[in-house]
Amino acid sequence: MRTIITIGRQFGSGGRNIGARLAKKLEILFYDKELLKKAAEKSGLCEKLFENFDERPKSLLYSIAMDSYMFALPGAVTNDSLEQQVYLATFDAVRHVAEEGPCVIIGRCADYALEGWDNTLSLFIHAPLERRIAAVARRQNLDTDKARQMVLRTDKRRAAYYEYYSAKKWGAVDSYDFCLDSSVFGQDGAVELIEDLVRLKER
C-alpha cells in the first residue's frame, strides 16, 4: 500500500474517529494533533504556538501581538510572520510524514500540501447540521444551543483557514476526490467505503 489519505471534516461528523479507525484497520500511521508535534520538532518553534494557530483563520490583531512577542526574543530574525512560519512548518510536516509512507492525515490543508502527488486520496466527511449538533451535545455534555454555537464556530474557523491557505472552497465537491455523508453510512460503513476507495486507488 502506498496511498496517503487526507480527511477534511465538518465538526461533529465523526471524521476524526473514522480516520483513526481506518488507519488502525489498514495498519498505517494516523496524524491529527501528532502532526503539530512533528512540525514543532522540525521547525524549532514552540509546540504551543502550533496549538494556538491550529486550523485557525488569519487574525490580524493576534498575529501582531504574537509577532511582537517573537521579535522581542534574542536572535529572532525572519521576514515571515509567526503565523506564516507556523503554517509553512505544518505544510512541511505534512509532506514529511507523507514521504515516510502511507498514512491518514486529518485537516491542516493536507490535501493542498500534497496536491499533485499521484498517491493521495483526499476526502471530505460531512453530516446534516442537526445530527452533528446532537453528537457534539452528547460528547461535550452541552445543551443544544451551546453545541450549535460550537459546531458553527468550529466549521467557520476551519473553512476560513482552509480557504485562506489553499484558495479552494472548504467542503466543496470539486476540492476533494470524494465527499461522504457519515450519517448515511455510519462510521463503520464509512470506514468500509473508504477501504474500498483505497483498494481502487491502489490498482
Contact 170, 158 (CB under 8 A): yes
Question: Please, are residues 114 and 98 in contact by the beta-carbon 8 Å criterion?
Answer: yes
Helix (H) or strand (E) segment spanning residue 29: strand 29-31
| Cα(106)–Cα(128) distance, integer angstroms | 20
pLDDT at 61: 40
**CA separation for the pair 16, 2 (Å, rounded):** 21
- Which is nearest to 46 in space by CA: 82, 81, 93? 82
CA-CA distance, 161 to 103, in Å (whole number)? 23
Give the C-alpha separation, 104 to 19, whole Å.
Answer: 6
SS3 106: strand
SS3 168: coil
- Residue 151 CA to residue 159 CA, distance in Å, equals 12
Residue 80: predicted pLDDT:
60
Mean pLDDT by 10 residues, the chain (203 residues): 97 98 97 84 76 66 41 44 82 93 96 95 98 97 97 95 92 96 96 97 92
Four-residue CA torsion sign, 195, 196, 199, 201? negative
**Phi, psi of 105, rounded to the nearest 5 degrees:** -120, 125
Q: Supply the pLDDT for residue 58.
A: 58
181 forms beta bridges with 126
pTM summary value: 0.85
If you search the block for the grid coordinates 446532537, which residue do you land on?
Answer: 134
pLDDT value at residue 59: 54
- Give residue 44's pLDDT: 77
Tell me the β-bridge partners of 104.
5, 30
